[in-house]
Amino acid sequence: MVDKSKASIQYDSPALIIGGGIAGISTAIELLDRGQQVLLIDRDEECNFGGMANEAFGGMLFVDTPLQRLNGIKDSKQLALDDWFGAAEFSTQKMQDPLAKAWANAYIERSREDVYDWLKNVGIQFFPIVHWVERGDYGFKQGSRGNSVPRYHVVWGTGYGLTQTLIQTLMNHKNKHKLSIKFQHKVDSFLFAGSKVIGCRGSIEGSLAQAFQINSHQVVICAGGINGNLAQVKKHWDVETYGEYPENILSGSHPYADGLLHDEVSNSGGSIKNRGWMWNYASGIKHPKPEYPNHGLSLMPARSSLWLDAKGERIGPMPLVTGFDTHNLCKVTGQLEGQYSWQVMNYKIACKELAVSGSHLNKAFLNKSWLGILKMALKGNEEMVQWLMSDCDDVVVADNVPSLVGKMNELEALDIPVKLSHVQSAVQGYDDQIQRGLKFTTDDQIRKIHFMRQWRGDKVRTLKSQKILDEKAGPLIAIRTRIISRKSMGGFETNTRSEVVGQSGLVMEGLYAAGEAAGFGGAGCSGIRSLEGTFLSLCILNGRVAGQTIAAKLNQKADVKASASETENNKREISA
């Protein structure tokens, strides 16, 4: 608790950044580039500087890059914009948010130069093969459209390498003397003079336990979204889209992403929109070593695994396959009885195709190891699969289907028994389709796998026509998966200068938001469906734009002050 007997610490800074994630760091770099004095505060400890970006795999969506052209990919800004608007469903009656659309346009127009090239200039490299994610389920129809071509650029070194590089850029900046960073500082409220923001108040957490006040006329909120606070997630849950709020939901976002500053600004007249727009995942599992309540991991599911419902029936009529429409996977899972699913595969499939999202669980990319990449291409990720099999409560292993179903039914808190006949029918039916060959298969999952393997980025990590009941590929594995809360796609409504807009429609002078706090721009520039790879890069773009806007205002004020001073001096000279 804060010791109220201690006097409040006072800080003064022309520019204040709340949140030391990648959006806040990018904002600070931009301000230092322009010679401005900056105070950056973060709620966490210094050892966690950079926030959740340290844990990210590190994929970013870019359009018409040299790397795409090197991979033979023909892309254009217009094609990307058409894909974006189709996936976002901006043309529907519910999606009439002009500032969200403006940020979508801004990202497509500026991301290559202002993010991709900018990162290259500070030493970031990208894996040479561009990945193809979120392809869309049906084609070019609204709501089913995805990335028409591969656009997912993976940072060589993962999100951890990206974040640490930007931290080093910040800490080694030529204007570092103009930067002050304070950790374990939690903001509770904002200070206003009329409708203008003039600072904030909060408390220092940890051993100091003291109140503070910061006086600043340029305040940037980069404190994340709401998805680390499951009470907020439940409050804003989109029942119409995803079904009733799943009480078994897992948390894949940090608890400090609690949405409390959203509420604070909303109560002060700020526009907070679309908090029900979330980018969650349907393939969450319990974290073997949880760091906070309901802590989960998000799987990148095997394409050749079968998704079954709680009773063991194959989900359909369209089978679930990852890599096409993440939003739809959550919609389907949310409507299932029990709101969880089973993914059934064998050991060979798991090693070759299964992955877990995150930087430290993808060691070859994290360590920039070409030998590790080659080993994964040839043998798969056996170390990760063995870890899941031995340590994760949601994973069961058996040598045959009856034993597997028996172990599935032994898991705790299962009110819906898995039926052996359902699982046997699903697995045998799938294997029979593979046996017929591609010429005669009518199974959409097998067709999609064949389609995926046409792109070399997927061919190397997707098996060809792999049966589940392959005696040489065992043992069998079943993984219980459920929805995991991840990213907020709504938030502070911002214009394309990163200024927060009030409920009146006017700018709240002196207040800005960037990154996930702003729904990555405009309180929802991705609409209801992301093309993936836009989150880290939008944090950078939002932050850079905020820094540019603030620097321009501070320079303008300095020019006005200098001009006034010069005028006064001239008057004195004339008078003399």
**Reported confidence tier of residue 311, pLDDT bands at 50, 70, 90:** very high
Does residue 573 have a pLDDT over 70?
A: no
For the segment 385-399, the average pLDDT, to the nearest whole number, is 96
Q: List pLDDT tens digits, range 88-110.
A: 998 765 666 899 999 999 999 99
DSSP E strands in 54-132: the ranges are 59-61
CA distance 330 to 448: 19
pLDDT for 575 equals 62
For the segment 442-466, the average pLDDT, to the nearest whole number, is 94
Does residue 175 have a pLDDT over 80?
A: yes
Check: pTM over 0.85? Answer yes or no.
yes
pLDDT for 467 equals 97
Does residue 139 have a pLDDT over 90?
A: no
For the segment 450-478, the average pLDDT, to the nearest whole number, is 95
Least confident residue range of 38-42, 370-374, 510-514: 370-374
Question: DSSP states of 528-564 as a string?
Answer: T---SS-HHHHHHHHHHHHHHHHHHHHHHHHHHHHHH
Q: List pLDDT tens digits, range 485-517.
A: 999 999 999 999 999 999 999 999 999 999 999
In what helix (H) or strand (E) does residue 511 lie, and over which residues does it extend?
Answer: strand 507-513
Does residue 56 have a pLDDT over 60?
A: yes
Structure tokens that stand for 234 in this block = 């439940």
pLDDT for 319 equals 94
pLDDT for 567 equals 57
In what helix (H) or strand (E) does residue 17 lie, and over which residues does it extend?
Answer: strand 16-18
Q: What is the torsional sign of CA 150, 152, 156, 158?
A: negative
Average pLDDT, the chain: 93
For the segment 309-319, the average pLDDT, to the nearest whole number, is 95
For the segment 516-539, the average pLDDT, to the nearest whole number, is 96
Among 149, 179, 132, which residue's Cα sits nearest to residue 36?
Answer: 179
User: What is the SS3 string spanning 123-175?
Assistant: CCCECCCCECCCCCCCCCCCCCCCCCCCCEEEECCHHHHHHHHHHHHHHCCCC
Q: How far is CA 145 from CA 91, 136, 148, in A?
A: 13, 5, 8
Q: List pLDDT tens digits, range 238-248.
A: 999 999 999 99
Q: Where are the alpha helices (DSSP H) in 253-379?
A: 260-267, 326-335, 347-353, 363-366, 370-379
pLDDT for 156 equals 97
pLDDT for 380 equals 87
Instruction: Name the percent of the chain lying above pLDDT 90.
Output: 88
